[in-house]
Amino acid sequence: MTKPGVTKPGVSDPSPVLVVDFGAQYAQLIARRVREAGVYSEIVPHAISAAEVSAKNPAAIVLSGGPSSVYEPGAPSLDAGILDLGIPVFGICYGFQSMAAALGGTVAQTGGREYGATPMHLTQGEHPLVAGQPADQTVWMSHGDQVATAPAGFDVVASTEATPVAAFANDERRLYGVQWHPEVKHSEFGQRVLENFLHDLAGLPGDWNPGNIIDQQVANIRAQVGDARVICGLSGGVDSAVAAALVHKAVGDQLVCVFVDHGLLRQDERRQVEEDYVAATGIRLVTVDVREQFLTALAGVTDPEDKRKIIGREFIRTFEQAERDLVAEAAADGEPIRFLVQGTLYPDVVESGGGSGTANIKSHHNVGGLPDDLQFELVEPLRALFKDEVRAIGRQLGLPHEIVGRQPFPGPGLGIRIVGEVTQERLDLLREADAIVRAELTAAGLDDQIWQCPVVLLADVRSVGVMGDGRTYGHPVVLRPVSSEDAMTADWTRLPYDLLAKISNRITNEVAGVNRVVLDVTSKPPGTIEWE
C-alpha cells in the first residue's frame, strides 16, 4: 500500500522544466511563469546532481536567483556536470553568476550594486533570447556581485551602466543567462525573455493547458484507482472541489464526498455545496451536521491555537465516523473503500519540504498531517499544480463560479476570524458582515483583483459609538483585503475610498452589534493574512 502523503506515479507525465532553487524567494514564481508560457515545471534543490537531473529527463533547466554570494563559504553551488548534459539551461541572477563561475567566467564584487528598477541596453538585440524587444528597457535587479567577464565562447547580449555583462548566450551549448529577474512584473519584457528561451531556444511547445492537464490526470486516476471506491472530504473550497470533480470525471460513482457542516462556514456555503456543486457535477454527497458539537467544544475557549486544535480534532472525529459509516456500507456491498482524495497543491508540497525544493517552511494539513496508520491510499490529482491552474481546471470542468472563484478560506473557518470566544451570536454577526463585504467586492468587479479579504470580529473589544440620538457600545470589525500571487507574501489592497465607505455604512447600519469598521494596512511579512 502506498504510504500516507505519497501518490503513485502517474502515466504520460510531461518532461519537466526543472527550476533549480538556490534559496530564492521567487523560485515558485519562476515555476509559475514557466507554466504561464504553457510549459510544465518542477522545483528541485540546488544540491541536485547531474545524474539526478539526467534521470528526470528534463526538457530544460532554469537556475533561480538566491541571496548568497558565489564566493561565500557554504554558498549554494551547481554541479557543473549539469551544464554538460546537452540540456538547454537558463540562469537568473545568482543562477546566472553560478553558471559563469562554473564555466570559467569571472564573478566579482565590483561595488556596482544594483537594486530595483534599472535601465538596461541590449548589445545584441537580434539574438533570439531578447528578440522582439526594444534595445533600451527597464529591468528589475537585485545583486551585489556581477559577472565581470563572460566564460569563453559566450556572447554578451545585454549590459547596464554598472554591469557590463548583464546577459550572455552560447548557442552551440544552449546555455543562457541574465543578471536581472525576468519573472517579476517590474521587468518590462521579462516574460518575453522566458518564452524566448523556452519556445525558441529550447524548442518546447506551449501545450501545458487545462484541457491537457485534465486528460492526463483522468488517465492517472483511472490507472491508480481501477475499480476501487474512493472517499473525499469536501470543504466547499476550490482545492477539494476541483480534486473531487477530477476524480469523479475519472471514476464516476465510485466516488462519494463527505461535507462537514461545523457551523463555522460563511453565509450560503452549505447551500452552494449541496445544490450548486452537486448539480454541476452529479457527485454523491453525504452531509454531516455537527454545529452543536463544535460550539460545545469551543465554549469558553479564547486562545487561537487552542481553537485551531479543537476544531481540527472535532473535524477529524466527525470525518472518521462518516468514513466508518461509509466503509461499513461499502463492505456490505462487497466493495471496500481503498482511496482518499486530497486537494494538495504544489506550494503545499514545496513548503512542507516534500517537493524536492526549499526547506520546510510550514506544515500543511494535506502534507505530513495525516495519521501514520491511515488505512487509505491517497489520490492527489492537484499535487503538481498551482492555485491559478486549479481554478482554470475547475472552470474547464464546468464548476460554478461561486466555488471556482472563491477566495481562500481557512480550514478552521470563522472560528479563527473571531478574536475571542466563539458563540452562535458572534458567528451570526460575523457571517452577516462578511457577506456584505463579499457582495460589495463582487458588485465593484474586484473579485479577480484581490487575493482574499478576511473580515475579523474583535469580539473581546467594544467601542463607544452613536446611532440616532443614542449611545452604542459595539464591536469593531476589521477588513483585511490583500493582494498576493501565492500567499507566501502579500500586500494590503488599496480599495477605492468610496467602496470602503459603502461597506462601512452597510455594516454599521445592517449588522446589529457592530458600530465601527477599521482597515488593516499591514503587509505580509510582518503580519500574517489571517489574524489568528
**Active-site hit among 46, 93, 351, 377:** 93
93 is known as an active-site residue: yes
**Active-site hit among 42, 114, 183, 269:** 183
Residue 185: CB atoms within 10 Å:
12
Chain centroid to CA 228: 30
The Cα 83–Cα 64 span in angstroms is: 15
CB 196 within 8 A of CB 129: yes
The Cα 465–Cα 472 span in angstroms is: 5
CB 508 within 8 A of CB 516: yes
Cell numbers placing 144:
551585489
The candidate with the shortest Cα–Cα distance to 143, out of 175, 181, 86, 99, is 181
Cell numbers placing 410:
481557512
Question: Using N-to-C axis directions, what is the helix angle for 497-510 and 424-443, rounded to 10°?
Answer: 150
Look-up: residue for cell 566579482? 108
**Active-site hit among 46, 127, 143, 181:** 181
Cα 348–392–244 angle (5° rounding)?
65
User: What is the DSSP code (8-state) at residue 490?
Assistant: B
181 is known as an active-site residue: yes
Written as one string, the DSSP assignment of 221-281 is: HHHHHTT-EEEEE--SSHHHHHHHHHHHHHHGGGEEEEEEE-S-PPTTHHHIIIIIIHHHH
The Cα 271–Cα 199 span in angstroms is: 45
3-state secondary structure at position 208: coil
Residue 200: CB atoms within 10 Å:
13
The Cα 356–Cα 358 span in angstroms is: 7
Strand partners, 205: none
In Å, how far are 157, 266, 514 from 415, measured between CA atoms? Answer: 55, 11, 18
3-state secondary structure at position 122: strand
Chain centroid to CA 394: 15
Radius of gyration of the chain (CA): 26
Look-up: residue for cell 563559504? 73
CB 40 within 8 A of CB 33: no
Which uninterrupted H or E stretch holds 178? strand 175-178
CB 383 within 8 A of CB 349: yes
Q: In 57-184, where does DSSP find H-type helix?
A: 94-102
For the annotated catalytic residues, the residue numbers are 93, 181, 183
